[in-house]
């Protein structure tokens, strides 16, 4: 599978993990008009860099496993952990312009994630799940909710 292969949401069996609409970010007014789905790609991981499922596995797989996201055969349930965080109702936060591309933080009681606004020929404008990890504290300014 290629790094841009989509991973299905295990809760809904569709590619999208939710949608983001009507963001309220004063320094990024162009985002208010961006209505975009959230996708998890297979991704890649090299050293500490990457995105998507492979990056999550390498950087946070043991933490996720220790939380009990394991099936009967001992495999870590990575996509189930992603879906427990990146889902309708999860709060979105903005931390500023410190990243080269526009990123949002997602946070709920299960953990935190990072989404990045991207565009390609296949999905058009979309939010890509860069990573998710067990973290209990939100960061940044609240700007919306996943729908």
Per-residue pLDDT tens over the stretch 23-46 = 877 676 666 667 899 999 999 999
| pLDDT value of residue 128 | 96
Is pTM, for the whole model, over 0.75? yes
Q: What is the pLDDT of residues 71-102, one digit of tens each?
A: 999 999 999 999 999 999 999 998 876 655 67
Say how many Å lie between the first and final Cα of the chain, rounded. Answer: 29
| pLDDT-derived band at 122, boundaries 50, 70, 90 | confident
Handedness of CA 69, 10, 145, 114 (dihedral sign): positive
């Amino acid at each position: 599978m290629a790094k841009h292969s989509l991973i299905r949401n295990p809760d809904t069996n569709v590619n999208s993990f939710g949608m983001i609409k009507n963001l309220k970010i004063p320094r990024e007014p162009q985002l208010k008009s961006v209505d975009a789905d959230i996708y998890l790609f297979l991704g890649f991981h090299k050293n500490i860099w990457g995105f998507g499922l492979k990056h999550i596995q390498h950087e946070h797989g043991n933490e996720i496993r220790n939380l009990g996201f394991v099936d009967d055969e001992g495999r870590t349930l990575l996509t189930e952990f992603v879906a427990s965080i990146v889902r309708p109702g999860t709060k979105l936060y903005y931390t500023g312009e410190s990243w080269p591309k526009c990123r949002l933080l997602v946070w709920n009681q299960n953990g935190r994630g990072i989404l990045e606004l991207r565009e390609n020929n296949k999905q058009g404008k979309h939010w890509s799940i860069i990573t998710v990890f067990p973290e209990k504290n939100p960061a940044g300014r609240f700007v919306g909710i996943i729908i």
